[in-house]
Amino acid sequence: MSRPVDQSGTFTLGAGGPDPLPVRRLGFGAMRITGPGIWGDPADRDRAIRVLRTAVDLGVDFIDTADSYGPFVSEDLIREALYPYDGVVIATKGGLTRQGPDQWAPVGRPEYLHQCVQMSIRRLGVECIDLWQLHRIDPKVPRDEQFGVIKQMQDDGLIRHVGLSEVSVADLQEAQRVLDIVSVQNLYNVAFRNSAELLDHCTAHGIGFIPWFPLGNRELVGDDGPLAPFATELGCTPSQVALAWLLKKSPVMLPIPGTGDIDHLRENCEAAAVVMSDEVFARIDAQFTSV
């Protein structure tokens, strides 16, 4: 089986530090392998397992999940499909609680964050989580308490590297007073760039930027959507245009498109092979900057 993801290049989390962790830049987001509303088991558990294994066969070695996906379902599926991982980095997140389908609430109490990490370790079957990300900073809990317990867990060997999710540059810099942050994960795609300042900061400082919702909505990547003319020009699909644009946008960009469908998975992975010239990139960039 060909491994198109190899063509996405690599990025090293924690480069320059004592424990660098290289990964291929095009990863897989394991949120959509759960049930509707990111709640409960998938309709077809065997298919979810096949998707995960196929992603690795296609070259993916960076899989992003969270304890709240299901909740717990995504981590359980990942262990069933991929343990003992064999060089695949499993990044997970904690700090969001679930009250039902599509319902999320942050809880950043230190004892809860400690529980999140310990339970993810148990579910994934590891002794240390390669990349653990605070899913949201809880506004009801002092930040020093949240960052402090994460630092303690890292010192205790439970966490190898630390990331943040949905933060500003100021949030990142505040956390960096306590923690060595190797990645951030914010909503970002070709048509939604509210985190442009954060991306520029990460690019300048070598911090991994993991854009969630990298394909945007269905209208963006539809066959008659705004990316369709570029897809025709490049000989690929609109979804592949969206991912290729992200990969070209910054060397620290680590897209994690997710799906529960093997055909969509292959399409996403093959985006790593799309060759996008500077001129085409600039036209796409300008079109969406101006809207």
Q: Which residues are catalytic?
A: 69
Q: Who's near 104: CB < 8 A, 6+ residues apart? A: 68, 96, 97, 98
Whether 30 and 77 have beta carbons less than 8 Å apart is answered as yes
Whether 215 and 237 have beta carbons less than 8 Å apart is answered as no
Beta-carbon-side half-sphere exposure of residue 189 (alpha carbons within 13 Å): 19
Question: What is d(CA 270, CA 261) in angstroms, rounded to the nearest whole number?
Answer: 14
CA–CA distance from 70 to each of 36, 41, 47, 134, 204 (Å)? 9, 7, 16, 17, 35
Can you name the residues that pair with 91 across neighbouring β-strands?
64, 131
**129-134/28-29 β-pairing:** unpaired
